[in-house]
């Protein structure tokens, strides 16, 4: 409940209907006016009821109210009673005091009504805007030109882990990793001085942000500029895109890796081989391409079933990854076929040593769903640049050498150069 203003120009309202109550309501919200009394012949008029709530004296006749104004020689009388005799009563009681009445008051009342309507519409719009901001799923952060946070909606609280009261008035760099904090204020200052935009006006820029618990995360932000009351503000619409990034990484992984074993697929293998050849050319060293085909895989697949076959391929992949260097590549290019790129091998002897390790590790028994099985592997080896310097040629040569190993009794390896003898 509002209380009566103790300061302001004294005013008397005669007529407590719609116009009088609207005028009273407006005056009670304005410190420039102090309503000292209100009068109406209807003791239940809306303005009378409102005045009683505010503790303002009320009267049922104009003359009594006017007499109460004698102590206020500068009192303004507003006649909204539609009774023209009030002006005469004012002259009798208060002398030649100006009274607002008739068309003048009607116009004033209409102005007051319109202002009240505009105010209500503005308040409604403000409530709607606040509701939108409050319930928005994206974080909304408003800062001033000094970088200090002036607005922080509930979605931003959830994203960053801070409550609004904890961040208001603090520099927005609080929400940034240490390596970018020092740069932020200079971005704003540079924009204000030069008009050169870095982030302002750009949609969906991806940045790294910082939560209260110190966790860094990928965030999408769109920044716009606005001016309110002659002051410049910047509004950022933020979105945590951690899940999206994880999904993108998963899709990218699936596009370049075998779904069953997790090894690089043919596409990634070819990319890695192209990169390795480029390095070998620049640094003048050798590399080798190995082509592996499992021996006995079909028997396991037919005897124990496809599920056991899948488990076997997964176990094979694990063993192969463990015996090659980080700089090397092993890929599953289809069925029970695997390919390798061995970088900077020095000589063909080192390629043969790796081939022997592969054959040895495949010779160890595999346990699949409680059953033990044995397989082997036939390998072909091609050397760069001794045998070829093109990707397609190297792979074909390694494949041809692998078939020579098969024909030589399996579970062994052969160099491409042995086909040329």
CATH 3.30.70.270 residue window(s) in the chain:
257-420
Per the prediction, the chain carries an average pLDDT of 86
pLDDT, tens only, 213-229? 999 999 999 988 888 88
CATH 3.40.50.720 residue window(s) in the chain:
9-128
Which range (81-95, 101-115, 284-298, 333-347) has the least confidence? 101-115
> What pLDDT, on the 0 to 100 scale, is given for residue 99?
66
Confidence of residue 1 (pLDDT cuts 50, 70, 90): very low
pLDDT, tens only, 28-53? 877 788 898 999 989 999 999 999 99
Mean pLDDT within 383-409: 95
pLDDT, tens only, 164-192? 999 999 999 999 998 887 777 677 777 77
Helices (H), 38-78: 46-54, 62-67
Mean pLDDT within 230-246: 91
Superfamily of domain 9-128 in the CATH hierarchy = NAD(P)-binding Rossmann-like Domain (3.40.50.720)
> What pLDDT, on the 0 to 100 scale, is given for residue 193?
75
Confidence of residue 97 (pLDDT cuts 50, 70, 90): low
On the question of pLDDT at 4 being above 70, the answer is no
The single residue of 258, 293, 336, 343 carrying the catalytic annotation is 336
On the question of pLDDT at 79 being above 90, the answer is no
Mean pLDDT within 129-149: 83
> What pLDDT, on the 0 to 100 scale, is given for residue 201?
67
Max CA distance (Å), the chain: 136
On the question of pLDDT at 82 being above 80, the answer is no
On the question of pLDDT at 274 being above 80, the answer is yes
pLDDT, tens only, 306-330? 899 999 999 999 999 999 999 999 9
On the question of pLDDT at 368 being above 90, the answer is no
* The CATH number fitting domain 136-242, selected from 3.40.50.20, 3.90.550.10, 3.30.450.20, 3.60.15.10: 3.30.450.20
Question: Is 0.85 surpassed by the pTM of this model?
Answer: no
> What pLDDT, on the 0 to 100 scale, is given for residue 194?
73
Confidence of residue 289 (pLDDT cuts 50, 70, 90): very high
Q: Annotate 85-107 with b (16+ C-beta within 10 A) or e (fewer).
A: ebbebbeebbeebebbbeeebee
Mean pLDDT within 143-158: 91
Which range (114-128, 191-205, 391-405) has the least confidence? 191-205
The answer to whether 280 and 392 have CB atoms below 8 angstroms apart is: no
How would you write 221-247 as a 3-class SS string?
EEEEEEEECCEEEEEEEEEECHHHHHH
Mean pLDDT within 127-139: 77
Instruction: Specify whether 336 is catalytic.
Output: yes
List, in order, residues 6 or more apart from 37 with CB less than 8 Å away: 12, 13, 56, 57, 58, 59, 65, 68, 69
On the question of pLDDT at 343 being above 90, the answer is yes
Q: Which CATH code is given to the segment(s) 257-420?
A: 3.30.70.270
On the question of pLDDT at 78 being above 90, the answer is no
Q: If you average pLDDT over each of 67-76, 93-102, 181-190, which comes out highest?
A: 67-76
> What pLDDT, on the 0 to 100 scale, is given for residue 51?
92
Tokens of 362: 């495949």
- Tell whether omega for the bond before 385 is within 30 degrees of 0, i.e. cis: yes
């Amino acid at each position: 409940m509002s209380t009566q203003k103790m300061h302001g120009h004294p005013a008397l309202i005669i007529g407590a209907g719609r116009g009088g109550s609207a005028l009273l309501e407006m005056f009670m919200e304005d410190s420039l006016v102090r309503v000292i009394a209100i009068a109406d012949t209807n003791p239940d008029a809306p303005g009378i009821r409102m005045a009683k709530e505010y503790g303002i004296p009320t009267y049922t006749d104009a003359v009594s109210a006017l007499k109460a104004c004698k102590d206020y020689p500068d009192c303004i009388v507003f006649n909204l009673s539609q009774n023209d005799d009030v002006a005469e009563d004012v002259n009798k009681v208060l002398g030649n005091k100006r009274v607002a009445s008739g068309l003048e008051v009607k116009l004033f009342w209409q102005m007051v009504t319109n202002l009240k309507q505009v105010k209500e519409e503005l308040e409604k719009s403000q409530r709607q805007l606040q509701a939108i901001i409050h319930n928005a799923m994206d974080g909304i952060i408003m800062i001033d030109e000094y970088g200090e946070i002036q607005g922080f909606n509930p979605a931003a609280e959830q994203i960053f882990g801070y409550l609004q009261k904890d961040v208001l008035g603090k520099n927005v760099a609080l929400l940034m990793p240490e390596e970018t904090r020092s740069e932020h204020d200079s971005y704003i200052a540079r924009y204000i001085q030069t008009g050169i935009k870095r982030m302002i006006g750009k949609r969906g820029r991806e940045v790294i942000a910082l939560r209260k618990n110190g966790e860094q995360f990928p965030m999408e932000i769109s920044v716009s500029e606005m001016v309110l009351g002659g002051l410049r503000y910047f509004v950022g619409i933020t979105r945590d895109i951690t899940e999206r990034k994880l999904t993108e990484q998963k899709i990218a992984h699936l596009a370049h890796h075998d779904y069953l074993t997790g090894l690089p697929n043919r596409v990634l293998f070819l990319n890695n081989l192209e990169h390795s050849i480029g390095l070998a050319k620049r640094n003048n060293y050798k590399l080798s391409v190995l082509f592996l085909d499992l021996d006995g895989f079909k028997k396991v697949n037919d005897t124990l079933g496809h599920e056991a076959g899948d488990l076997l391929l997964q176990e094979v992949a694990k063993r192969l990854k463990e015996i090659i260097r980080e700089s090397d590549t092993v890929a599953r290019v289809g069925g029970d076929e695997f390919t390798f790129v061995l970088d900077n091998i020095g000589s063909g002897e080192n390629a043969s040593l790796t081939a022997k390790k592969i054959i040895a590790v495949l010779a160890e028994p595999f346990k699949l769903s409680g059953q033990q099985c044995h397989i082997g592997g036939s390998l072909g080896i091609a050397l760069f640049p001794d045998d070829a310097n093109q990707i397609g040629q190297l792979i074909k040569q390694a494949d041809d050498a692998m078939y020579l190993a098969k024909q030589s009794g399996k579970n062994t390896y052969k160099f491409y150069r042995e086909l040329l003898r």
